[in-house]
Amino acid sequence: MDGPSSGGAAGTLPGVERSGSWPVRLGEATTDGHEPEETARMWHVTLSVSGAEAPLREVRRALEQLAHDHPFLLTSRYANDHAEIRYWEEARDLHDAAAVALRLWGEHRSSAGLPPWEIVGLEVIGRETYRQRVAEGHGPAPVTPVGVHPY
């Protein structure tokens, strides 16, 4: 079950801000006693892209620009022919989070100067799954540095 009571210090994850009574599920009352219209949840997204080789400096600069334009990006790793972006997405459900992720690279290709690479992988997982993976040693370490880094 994803939610603030599913482990972690006060229901938080590194890099994930929580305010007030968020997230609230359908059927639960908010702090003012009213039922919310929609439920927002956090999803951990890993987007992998690949394509023709590009100069490393240009790839790094483009990923840094993307991170500047969209501060929700946690970590980007890159090489001259592929990259991986990890971030948290707030969305109603997995389908919405995946749809946003699948548009990210193409919609920001021009503004950030991203290489004309294609999406070759997408993983979207809920907070509880992310926590389980980290606890079992299968996810990214909580101390993974935020920012843009070479492979």
Domain boundaries, the chain: 41-150
Q: How high is the mean pLDDT of the chain?
A: 80
Is residue 84 predicted with pLDDT exceeding 60? yes
Instruction: Quick: pLDDT tens for 2-41.
Output: 443 333 333 334 444 333 333 434 444 445 555 555 688 9
pLDDT score of 37: 56
The closest of 67, 17, 40, 44 to 138, measured between CA atoms, is: 44
More confident residue, 108 or 142: 108
CA atoms within 13 A on the CB side of 47: 24
Distance CA 39, CA 90 (A): 10
pLDDT at 7 (0 to 100): 37
Write down the pLDDT at residue 146: 83
Does the pLDDT of residue 93 top 90, yes or no? yes
Mean pLDDT for 52-71 is: 94
Distance CA 108, CA 102 (A): 11
Residue 123, classed as helix, strand or coil, is strand
Q: What pairs with residue 48 in β-bridges? A: 84, 121
Do residues 51 and 115 make contact, with C-beta atoms less than 8 angstroms apart?
Answer: yes
pTM beyond 0.75: the answer is no
The domain 41-150 is placed in CATH, from the list 1.10.150, 2.60.40, 3.30.70, 2.60.120, at 3.30.70
